[in-house]
C-alpha cells in the first residue's frame, strides 16, 4: 500500500501536471470506486471545475477544486494516478502514446478517467479495485470520517510530540504503533521496518519500554527514512508508479524490508529475520534490534 513517500510523490506530480486545468468529464467502468456521492452525482459535481491544487493528508490525496469542493483519493493497495493522453477503445480507456503509461502492465488497470482541458487525462489505475474516491463538499474535509481521526503527520510532528504519542500507546508493540494512522500518519509496512532497523529497535518492543534516547533516535530515523523515500520517488517493489507511470527507486535502497536470510547491512554478524507482528510482516536484525 502506498505510504507517505508515494503519496507525496503523487501529490507533487499532480501539482506539476494538472493544477489549473479544468475537469471536462469523468468516465468509469468501476463506479464503485467512488464511495460518495453516487458516481452520476460525483461526475456532475466535478464537471467544469478547475483543479486548484493537491495536498497530502496522511496517506490520502486531497484535490481541491475551484468550487470549494475536494476530491479525496486513497490509493489503497494497488492504486495510482497517471497523467497523459488516453483514448476510449471498445469501452475501455488506454494510453495512446508509447512509454510507461502504455508499456508497463501495472499501468493498464484503468478504471476511472478525468478528461482535462488541454487534451490530456488523469487516470486511476487500480488492479485490485480497492481504491477509494470521495467528493467532499466545502467544509467537510475536517469532519469526514476518513480524516478526522488521523494523527499528526510523521514529517511535521515534533520530537516531544512524537514521544508523547508513543507514551499514549505504551503497551503496544512499536511496529503496530508506528503503523496506526491515529497515532502518527503516513507510515506503513515498508518504512516502519526501515526506520526500526535504522534506530536499532525490535518491532515487538513495547512502545512504553523504549528509552528516551532510543525514542529520539527513532524520531530521527523516521524523518530520515521517509525523506529518503521521497527523494527516490517512492517504492515500486510492487504496483506503485508515479504520475508519469514511472517506477520509484526506493526498493533499490532497502536495508531490511524483504531481506530475510540476508546478512545485516550494519555488518554486525546478524542475519535478517521475518516474523508476523499484528498480522503484518516485520523484517529485522536480531543482533542489533532487541527488545
* Rounded CA separation 118/197 (Å): 46
pLDDT of residue 1: 79
pLDDT of residue 152: 97
pLDDT of residue 127: 96
Grid coordinates belonging to 62? 486531497
* Rounded CA separation 112/168 (Å): 40
pTM above 0.95, yes or no: yes
CATH fold of 159-284: Helicase, Ruva Protein; domain 3 (1.10.8)
Q: What angle do CA 97, 99, 105 make, to 5 degrees?
A: 105
> 4-136 has which CATH code?
3.20.190.10
pLDDT of residue 73: 98
* Rounded CA separation 125/95 (Å): 11
Grid coordinates belonging to 247? 517506477
What is the residue extent of each domain of the chain? Answer: 4-136, 159-284
Cis peptide before 77 (omega within 30 of 0): no
Pairing of strands 22-28, 121-126: unpaired
CA count, 13 A, side-chain hemisphere, 150: 20
pLDDT of residue 3: 98
pLDDT of residue 122: 98
* Rounded CA separation 135/243 (Å): 21
Reported as a single tens digit per residue, the pLDDT across 231-255 is: 999 999 999 999 999 999 999 999 9
pLDDT of residue 126: 97
Active site residues: 2-3, 59, 280
pLDDT of residue 14: 98
pLDDT of residue 5: 98
Q: Could you say which residues of the chain have pLDDT below 50?
A: none
Reported as a single tens digit per residue, the pLDDT across 97-152 is: 999 999 999 999 999 999 999 999 999 999 999 999 999 999 999 899 999 999 99
Amino acid at each position: 500500500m502506498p505510504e507517505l513517500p508515494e503519496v507525496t510523490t503523487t501529490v507533487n506530480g499532480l501539482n506539476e501536471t494538472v493544477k489549473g486545468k479544468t475537469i471536462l468529464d469523468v468516465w468509469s467502468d468501476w463506479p464503485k470506486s467512488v464511495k460518495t456521492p453516487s458516481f452520476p452525482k460525483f461526475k456532475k459535481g466535478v464537471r467544469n471545475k478547475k483543479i486548484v491544487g493537491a495536498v497530502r493528508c496522511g496517506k490520502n490525496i486531497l484535490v481541491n477544486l475551484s468550487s470549494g469542493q475536494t476530491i479525496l483519493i486513497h490509493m489503497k493497495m494497488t492504486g495510482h494516478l497517471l497523467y497523459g493522453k488516453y483514448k476510449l477503445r471498445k469501452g475501455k480507456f488506454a494510453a495512446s502514446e508509447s512509454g510507461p503509461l502504455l508499456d508497463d502492465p501495472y499501468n493498464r488497470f484503468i478504471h476511472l478517467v478525468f478528461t482535462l482541458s488541454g487534451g490530456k487525462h488523469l487516470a486511476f489505475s487500480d488492479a485490485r479495485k480497492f481504491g477509494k474516491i470521495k467528493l467532499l463538499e466545502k467544509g467537510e474535509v475536517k469532519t469526514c470520517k476518513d480524516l478526522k481521526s488521523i494523527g499528526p503527520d510523521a514529517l511535521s510532528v515534533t520530537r516531544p510530540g512524537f514521544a508523547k504519542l508513543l507514551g499514549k500507546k505504551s503497551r503496544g508493540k512499536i511496529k503496530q504503533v508506528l503503523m496506526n494512522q491515529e497515532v502518527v500518519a503516513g507510515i506503513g509496512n515498508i518504512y516502519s521496518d526501515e526506520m526500526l532497523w535504522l534506530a536499532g529497535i525490535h518491532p515487538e518492543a513495547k512502545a512504553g519500554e523504549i528509552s528516551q534516547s532510543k525514542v529520539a533516535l527513532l524520531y530521527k530515523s523516521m524523518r530520515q527514512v521517509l525523506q529518503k523515500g521521497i527523494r527516490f520517488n517512492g517504492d515500486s517493489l510492487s504496483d506503485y508508479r508515479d504520475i508519469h507511470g514511472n517506477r520509484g527507486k526506493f526498493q533499490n535502497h532497502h536495508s531490511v524490508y524483504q531481506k530475510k536470510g540476508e546478512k545485516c547491512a550494519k555488518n554486525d554478524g546478524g542475519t535478517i529475520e521475518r516474523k508476523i507482528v499484528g498480522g503484518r510482516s516485520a523484517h529485522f536484525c536480531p543482533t542489533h534490534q532487541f527488545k
